Structures are given as C-alpha cells and as structure tokens.
Amino acid sequence: MEGNTFIDLFAGCGGLSLGLHQAGFKCIFMNEIDPKCCDTYLKNMPLKNYFLGDIKELNKQLKQYATLFTNVDLVCGGPPCQGFSTANRQRLLNDPRNTLYKEYLKFLAFTKPKIFILENVKGIKNKVSEINEDISKIVGKEYKVSYRILEASDFGVPQHRERFIMIGSRLKVNPDEIFTNLCNNKYPHFTLYDAISDLPKLQPKTIKNDTTIENDQIGYRSIQYNYKDTPFRRFINGNTNTNLLLNHKNRYNNNRDIEIFRRLPQGCNSLHDSIADIMPYKSRNTIFKDKYYKLEYNKICKTITSHMRYDCNMYIHPTDARGLSPREAARVQTFPDHFEFTGPQNYWYHQIGNAVPVKMAEAIGKEILKCL
C-alpha cells in the first residue's frame, strides 16, 4: 500500500484525521458511532472503508478487515474514559464505564500498528501506570510508550487547550524523542483577533425556533465571500483555498442575553458591575460566575467545548453582541475554511468542540512521519 497509512478510531468529524492527512499520512479506515459526525467526516474526506457504529461491534468483525489492516503504520483515537478519577480505586480496565478504552486496546492488539496515538483529557495522566500495564498485557510488550500534556497554543492554535497525548512505538525510535522534537519546534503564535477578525460582522438573532432564516445580518450556511489574505488564513488553509464562507451563522438569543453581551467589557464575566442589574442567578454568583464571559481579541481563546451546542454565553464575541459563530469556533480549532460541517446548526458546535485541533494534530503527525 502506497504512502504512510493510518486508522482513526472515535474519529468524530475528523479533526485528528485532517491534521494527520495534512502531515502526509493516508487514512485507510475510520470508525465513528455518531451518524452526523460521520457525515461531516465523509463529506470533507471521502473514504471507501469505514465503520459507522460501536467499536465493540467493529472488534467482533476484525477478521474480515485483516487484509486491509495488514502492516498499518499508525492507529489513533481518543476513547472516552469516564472512570479515570484518582478518587476511583477501580482499575481503568475493570471499570465498566471504560469499555471503550478496553476496546481500543483490543483493536491495537489485532492490528499491531508500528505506532499508535492515544488522545484524551489531561486528567487521565493520573492513570498512566495502569495504562502502561494494560498496553503491555493486551497489546504487547514490544511497545515503548511515552506521554505528554500538550498545550494547543504551543502549535499555533489560538486557543488554550490541554490534551493528554500518549505515543506507543514498536520501532527503534523512542516516543520520548518524538515528543522532544515536537516541543522543540517553533510554531507561529496567533490571537483570537488573528483568527476571526476578517470574517463578516453579524447581528444578534432575535427570531426564535426558525433555523431556516439566513441574511446578511445573522449569516449563512454557505455564501460566496472574498477573503482577505492574512497570515492566519495561510496557516490554516495551506495550499487550499475557497471562495465560500461556510457555517458562519448566528443563533437565537433573548433580549436579556443580548443586552448582557452588549454591556460586558472584553475579559469580564457574570460578576462584572456592568450587568449587575440584569444578571440572572444572582443568588448563585459563585457558581455561575462564568455563565457569561466575553472573549478578548488580543489573547488566545478559552477552550472550545461541545457545550456551545446549548449556548455560547461563555464565548461572547469581543465586539459583537452575540456568541461565536460555528465558523469562528472552527477557526479557533484551526479547521481550514473549506471544511464544511453538516447536520443541524447547533450540532456544528458539538462536532467542533469535540475535535482535536487540526494544526496540533498535523504537528504531531509530522514528527511521527519522520520515524517512518
């Protein structure tokens, strides 16, 4: 099989896959359980071989993929681990909440890739010794394993986002060397202003329960647009380009929230005096101090999360009385402008928030590729 190949498990809408593709890898197979995420993935990265469904069902059918999976270079994935808390004394492998983690290891044991990537929340570092034991027991003792907590902004991503990245290798190269080289490389630094200021301004949307409305004020799912040439656009788009503006569309907010968005200064939250007279939840200010937060143009963005599908009150645009649009959130995650998110509008946020930042994935992929 030509090129360096990889398999993406728990692929989501494809942030990790896209970054690895940009680094020079070729995806030969992916697995995702969510049909909407799978639709977005395949629209942007058409793939002949994939499995839509639970990885537990995929693992029951691995023999039929034996030829395809032979001699694969890289397997990557971020299995949800619900039971990694240090307060939980039950082992990761035995915790019934961590069945997907166990299935991920089973997949590695069958495919025996040259290198694998395990991506997760940073808190799972507390269970590293268990993970190493489980890998040795289930996948094989031939893998040398190392991990780091990587900060996305160190790789040009205009966002504070810490992720646990573990690399396992059965080649001569030590994963520690991969991480050392990765962290010694120089990457550009971008602020939120760099990432989104060239996109059209949007007005608040005040009409409820109608997602079909599109206009110059609240935005569009897709519209022709003449982009400015900026360093950030060159960074995320590389040699690709588009004259379409995709997924840049505002969501509904009530009049009280719009007024809060308007009054709050950049960098301020629910406790600010400017909104004291209209702030809800006053009796629970200590709990809801970040219920509202206005982002700052001259800094990197706070962590983009899938909660944005419910509201963007913690992601208020620095100068417009609204939350970030899905395209702006995608820019913060370093998705290229031609990448289109499918499905219902609020679900765009869910896909974006759960994704691995594309340029961070690309940086990791480039270092791994050097070993292959």
Hey, is 34 helix, strand or coil? coil
The catalytically annotated residue of 37, 81, 301, 312 is 81
Sign of the CA dihedral with 319 first, then 163, 15, and 348 last: negative
* Other CB atoms within 10 A of residue 142 CB: 11
Long-range residue pairs from 1-5, CB within 8 A, at least 24 positions apart, any chain:
1/28, 1/71, 2/26, 4/73, 4/74, 4/369, 4/372, 5/72, 5/73, 5/74
140: left (phi over 0), alpha (psi -120 to 50) or beta: left
Residues 116, 110: Cα–Cα separation, whole Å: 13
| Per-residue H/E/C for 269-288 | ECCCHHHCCCCCCHHHCCCC
Is 301 a residue of the active site?
A: no
Residue 251's SS3 state is coil
Distance CA 123, CA 129 (A): 13
Is the separation of the CB atoms in 256 and 313 below 8 Å? no
Question: Which region holds residue 177: left if phi is over 0, alpha if psi is between -120 and 50, else beta?
Answer: alpha
Q: Are the C-beta atoms of 118 and 131 separated by less than 8 Å?
A: yes
For residue 334, what is the enclosing H or E element?
Answer: none
d(CA 157, CA 236): 9
Q: Which residues are catalytic?
A: 81
